[in-house]
Structure 1
Amino acid sequence: MISVWAPVAVAVEIEWSGDGAPVAREAMSRDDDGWWHWDGDPAAYQTFDYAFVLDGAEPSLPDPRSAWQPHGVHSPSRFFDASRFVWSDQQWRGTRCGAGVLGGLVYELHVGTFTPEGTLDAAIERLDALVAIGVDLVELMPLAAFPGDWGWGYDGVALYAVHDRYGGPAALQRFVDAAHARGIGVCLDLVHNHLGPSGNYLSRFGPYFTDTHHTPWGSAVNLDAPGADGVRSFLVDQVLRWFRDFHVDALRLDAVHELADDSPHHLLAELSDATATLATELGRPLDLIAESDLNDVTMVEPTALGGRGMTAQWADDVHHALHVVLSGESQGYYADFAGGGEREEAGPLAVLAKVFTRGFLHDGSFSSFRGALWGRAVDVDTFDARRLLAYLQTHDQVGNRALGDRLHATLSPGRHAIGAALVLLGPFTPMLFMGEEWAAATPWQFFTSFDDLALGEAVSRGRREEFGSHGWSVDEVPDPQAVSTRDASVLDWSEPGREPHAHMLSWYAACSALRHRLLPIGSPLRLADVLVSFDEAARWVVVSHHGLAIAANLADHPQTVPVPDGAVPLLRWADHGSELRGISGEGLVLDPDDCAVLRLTP
């Protein structure tokens, strides 16, 4: 049987073709809930393509719940039977002894540029490299089908489908099974707050959007207006399907602050409750990770206490504080993170100290970028810092720069190593963006391949105008629609085997190994137990928590950095690969842009 929700349609027909036979058209029957059904058996065919005709209007439309769009998002859907895959992960109970995402090492990966082939099958061949640096969870950027071959994935329009250029749905099953065989979990990035501008046919089927609320992309997804029950079911069913049929371990939910929902039971809480029920049924942890701009840990508080029930949320404040300390940039939203002015924090190290000990910079304080008071204070005595994901780089923070230049492109290797140590060995759940572990020389730029030429030109023109207003010339800004822009963003896998990339890769692996050894994944890491000492003028900082410390010298000259009494040095950037230096009575002597990891004695 094939079904489709189209509550406002008077008549729905299915156009179908089994194993390449001529296309047939048949009427579908309606039930009382606005669902239309066809009683044929698509599983009886090797290939079964189909589309829907609503009230006789042409052209026919793909299935809103299509799993596979082998001919593009404007063409008929292809039936996919997820139960046909033979899994080898029957004993899988989650990464490292059944633990979920909290405290593990997350690795953000874009399938289309992770390898030259840009497929899930090609990505499987590189999973062992992630095992070598201790990755616990691979976060795949959005796979939902979108127009053209290449893009970031945030313009997806077939939310149940896996982009065919990446290999389609069967390739995702193969990838997850291969990752589990290596002890790595898999997270998918889902976009529920909007759909892309080309190939979005949902509004033809039902009240998927509403003008009750508006978002940066236009009318909001309908979560609380008439007809919202069917839309919410569409999203909840999609979430559970990835867990159940594709064995994924976690889902990252994009920009949840743009999910406008005034209903008594917020969609995120509904997703959390449904996910928890399924986790019990499957006998393994299932996690939801929110990208939220609200600076409010209500997002990760239990639904029974009025929270949204997410496992964790991205922590942009941690990124911004680290970025300013390491790079010195202070424009735009980085301005507050430089400290000074009317802020109580006197400089960037003071800001870093606040973020590492209180979770957010903006916790009810004024945000100059937003022009408003922002966020809510965290109860540091009870809050587990692992519920915040910390990172030096993400697809957003790299790709939304004019040239897509990575943070380490403008830093000394030592500065990069300091940032890596603070992320990998800090109290938060660490996340890497693909390639940063070896200081990839390739940029990661904004690229699209819209098959609508007018739309593609509008995107290219908008990109040029945006950065032109900031002083870039037209010729400097990569054209998103050019194939060369995607190609320039593909990782060069020859780099990890040669210097200086190999040296940075070994540093990341060493820091990751220490985290696994010193910070047991099942143990909460309270914010109240994080201490930060620093000297803004001398440019040194020490972050201590839960039995370890990271000491860093950000000055351009050697200096002695005071460290806790009885600290034992374990790893140091300047000595990496050779014998570690000891600690004098006054502290640890660190070279310029040098850092060390120390074990604290009880």
Structure 2
Amino acid sequence: MNELVTQPTRPATPGLGVHGDFSVWSPQARRVRVRVDGTDHPMERAPDGWWHGQVAGAGPGSDYAYLLDDDSQPLPDPRSLHQPHGVHAPSRVYDHAAHAWADGDWTGRPLAGGVIYELHVGTFTPEGTLTAAVDCLDHLVDLGVTHVELMPLNAFDGTHGWGYDGVLWAAVHEPYGGPDALKGFVDACHRRGLAVLLDVVYNHLGPSGAYLPRFGPYFCGENAWGPSLNLDGPDSDPVRRLVVDGALDWLRHYHLDGLRLDAVHALRDDRAVPILPELSAEADALAAGLGRPLSLIAESDRNDPRTVLPREAGGLGMTAQWSDDLHHALHVALTGEKHGYYADFDGPQVLVETLRRVFWHDGTRSTFRGRRHGARVDTALVPGSRFLGYLSTHDQIGNRARGDRMGEHLSPGLLTCGAALVLCSPYTPMIFMGEEWGATTPWPFFASFTDPELIEGVRKGRRREFAALGWAEEDIPDPMDPATRDRAVLDWSEPGHEPRKLVLDTYRALIALRRAEPELCDPRLDRFAVRASQDGRTLVLTRGSLRLVCNLGLEETRVELDAAPGELLLANGGPRIDGTAVSVPGESFAVLRV
């Protein structure tokens, strides 16, 4: 009788030392040693540029690092899963199988119909850890969001930072709690019905601890942040596998429900099959095997509809992408700011046209770029759920000199009008942490590098950048001062007091209404209609039998609808209905059924 032998569908990621086996790709090295718990061991080179070594007695908890050629500096593993002592120290062997998961009943959540909450672990709570963040998850459940999008967690130099200066793409930042804390956070979210997305950064490395190029030709050429990843040049196959396997491992081993891919326009790739559709295909295969949906959300500056088109239709296969044009149009309409790239979004019909078309720049001239930009979205083909709509993000707040939020400048009425436009639109809404109560805590750029020259360089660069825009030096926070991070921590006492409580109650009511009324979640852009007054201050969104009337002006306005309203579902003011007309006070909205 033949004996049935079963094997894993995919072998464990090699080179991580769980069974004492270590491997690293370094095709140009003449000699590689692995230092395990203080003792050096030789490694053997394979023809493909991988070096392998077996160390008896090594396993979970062992500290290890690599020595290349005659260099005496031990380097962390490029595929490290655990960096307990920072990015300059040895890696530690970590066993994914040791965690006892408690989410066996979790079947996932599709992105369409969801509401995303963008969360920065380091400033969500005073402790700035994943474990502390768990204590605030019930707030998110009460708010009604469905997906938590964590800003980057991969290891970076220092304690506090945005996370986009990471240098070890697979290791969970130790000050946040390390890999076990992330698994505990995901378990806690799934127990509450919350899906978890993770922001991952593959387009560049941070400036401190970037040892990856020492191992091999991982980079080639330049992008806006420095060296560009080698995705299509000689020896690029292992580089692509580092990205694709790393992304899949986040989804597989941490039970994540999706990834947000940072600045994909900076991934230079001339291959016939670019890396994004390659990753999309593998993520779809993994989702089928896991029996739950997995989402890939791209941040792209291209305004290219192909980003979210299916691979079969010649697209990149992303589930969704961020839509900064909608943010910019909303920001200008609500705040009146017109500087920088906001200048392109000044005009009474910009917001209504952007709501209709997805992109304002869909082949139009961008004065900020000095050229035509973007391409038209086929609204009969592409659903709005593939584009994220938002009033604020970490970028749009953090890249302001003071990191000031809308809550500092706008009335509760205008804040909730903006929320109504996003949450009653056909797009996938996203909320940046604290936005739901109009938080006034600033959220500027901050970091905590350890190299004195780098610290001073970041300080001077930040001052120079904003001084050129007319900011006084004393108004620009020191990004390296720990107090800058401390001031960015959410003030959880704010939502308990007016007018912040009113804003929070309105967000909750809007999200609950979106969940209760399927027409508000309908992503079909060709079923969505929107019109605006001549001055652009009054908008009417048509969502099936529902109408959102939004008055951004100061004075009451009277709007004729296409049919007589039969029911007032939600309002932040006191609208008056007269036949087919509704009068809405200044800085107010009303959702009605006709």
Indicate the TM-score class for this superposition, using the shorter chain for normalisation.
over 0.9
Distance verdict in 2 for CA 1:201–1:595, change over 3 Å: same
Counterpart amino acid of residue 39 in structure 1? Q
Are residues 1:172 and 2:187 paired? no
2:333 — aligned with what?
A: 325
The Cα shift of 1:433 comes to 0.2
Which secondary structure state, in structure 2, belongs to the residue aligned with residue 561 of structure 1?
Answer: strand
Letter paired with 2:591: V
Distance in 2, matches of 1:546 and 1:262, equals 43
Mapped pair 1:35 → 2:50? yes
Match of 2:64 among 50, 53, 56: 50
1:125-163: CA deviations, max 9, x gaps? 100000001111000000111110000011000101000
Secondary structure of 2:172's aligned partner: coil
Question: What is residue 505 of structure 1 aligned with on the other side?
Answer: 504
CA contact (8 A) 1:553 1:561 kept: no
Within 5 Å, which residues of 2 pair with 1:240-319?
240-319=248-327
1:20 maps to which residue?
A: none
| Runs of 4+ more than 4 Å apart | 41-45
Q: Pick from 538, 555, 558 the counterpart of residue 556 of structure 2.
A: 558
Match of 2:592 in 1: 598
Tell me the distance in 2 between the aligned counterparts of 1:475 and 1:360: 37
Native 8 Å contact 2:406 2:438 kept in 1: no
Q: Please give the residue correspondences for 1:337-486 in structure 2 after superposition, counting only pairs within 5 Å.
A: 337-339=345-347, 347=348, 350-486=349-485
* Residue 81 of structure 2 corresponds to residue 67 of structure 1: yes
Instruction: Answer whether contact 1:542 1:549 (CA < 8 A) is retained.
Output: yes
Structure-2 change in CA distance of 1:10 and 1:409 (3 Å): same
Partner Cα separation in structure 2 for residue 441 and residue 538 of structure 1: 27
Q: TM (normalized to structure 1)? A: 0.93
Please, what is the CA RMSD of the aligned residues?
A: 1.4
Q: Post-superposition shift, 1:10?
A: 1.5
Secondary structure, counterpart of 2:473 in structure 1: coil
Cα shift readout 1:44-83 (whole Å, capped 9, x = no counterpart): 45x2100000112120100000011111101100111111
Q: Name the structure 1 match of 2:18.
A: none
Q: Distance in 2 between matches of 1:183 and 1:495?
A: 26
What does 1:124-143 correspond to in 2, within 5 Å?
Answer: 124-143=134-153
Describe the SS at the equivalent of 1:268: helix
1:111 maps to: 121
Deviation of 1:103 (Å)? 2.4
SS in 2 for 1:161: strand
d(CA) in 2 for partners of 1:546, 1:179:
33
Give, in whole Å, the separation in 2 of the partners of 1:538 and 1:160. Answer: 47
Q: Which residue matches 2:542?
A: 544
Assess if the C-alpha contact under 8 Å between 1:359 and 1:527 holds in 2.
Answer: no
SS of residue paired to 1:272:
helix
Q: 1:207 aligns with which of 201, 204, 217?
A: 217
Q: Structure 1 residue 25 and structure 2 residue 40: aligned?
A: yes
Among 166, 173, 191, the residue aligned to 1:163:
173
- TM-aligned CA deviation for residue 538 of structure 1: 7.3
Deviations 1:419-445 (A, max 9, x none): 001111211000000000011121111
Aligned to 2:8: none
Partner Cα separation in structure 2 for residue 270 and residue 89 of structure 1: 29
* Letter matched to residue 535 of structure 1: S
Q: Give me the whole-angstrom Cα distance separating, in 1, the residues matched to 2:519 and 2:183.
A: 30
Alpha-carbon distance between aligned partners in 2 of 1:378 and 1:123, rounded to the nearest angstrom: 38
Tell whether the 8 Å contact from 1:398 to 1:406 is kept in structure 2 after alignment. Answer: yes
Q: Show the counterpart of 1:233.
A: 241
Identity %: 51
Partner SS state of residue 160, structure 1: strand
CA distance in 1, matches of 2:560, 2:250: 49
Aligned-partner Cα distance in 1 for 2:93–2:593: 56
Deviation at 1:531, TM superposition (A): 1.2
Q: Secondary structure at the match of 1:475?
A: helix
Residue 131 of structure 2 corresponds to 121
1: CA distance between counterparts of 2:519 and 2:559? 28
Shift of the 529–253 alpha-carbon distance from structure 1 to 2, 3 Å rule, reads same
Contact 1:256 1:292 (C-alpha < 8 Å) held by counterparts: yes
> Conserved in 1, the CA contact under 8 Å of 2:334 and 2:418?
yes
Q: Specify every segment of 5 or more residues in structure 1 that has no aligned partner in the other structure, as ranges.
A: 18-22, 340-346, 576-580
Question: Is this contact kept in 1: 2:327–2:392, CA < 8 A?
Answer: yes
Distance 1:123 1:520 in 2: 33
CA distance in 1 between partners of 2:588 and 2:239 (Å) = 53
State the AA in 2 paired with 1:504: V
Partner of 2:533 in structure 1? 535
Contact 1:43–1:81 (CA<8 Å) still a contact in 2?
no
Deviation for aligned residue 1:378: 1.2
With 546-555 and 170-179 compared, the bigger mean Cα shift is at: 546-555
Unaligned segments of structure 2, at least 5 residues: 1-20
- Contact (CA 8 Å) 2:380, 2:525: kept in 1 or not? yes
SS in 1 for 2:547: strand
TM-score, length-scaled by structure 2 = 0.94
Select between 378-387 and 162-171 the one with higher mean Cα deviation. 378-387
Structure 2 vs 1, CA of residues 85 and 592 (structure 1 numbering), >3 Å: closer, same or farther?
A: same
The amino acid of 2:44's aligned partner reads: S
**Structure 1 residues 267 and 73, CA gap change in structure 2 (3 angstroms):** same
- Indicate the SS of the match to 2:80: coil
Offset at 1:524? 5.2
Counterpart of 2:105, as a letter, is Q
**Aligned partners of 2:592, 2:403: CA distance in 1, in Å?**
35
Question: Equivalent residue of 1:363, what SS?
Answer: coil
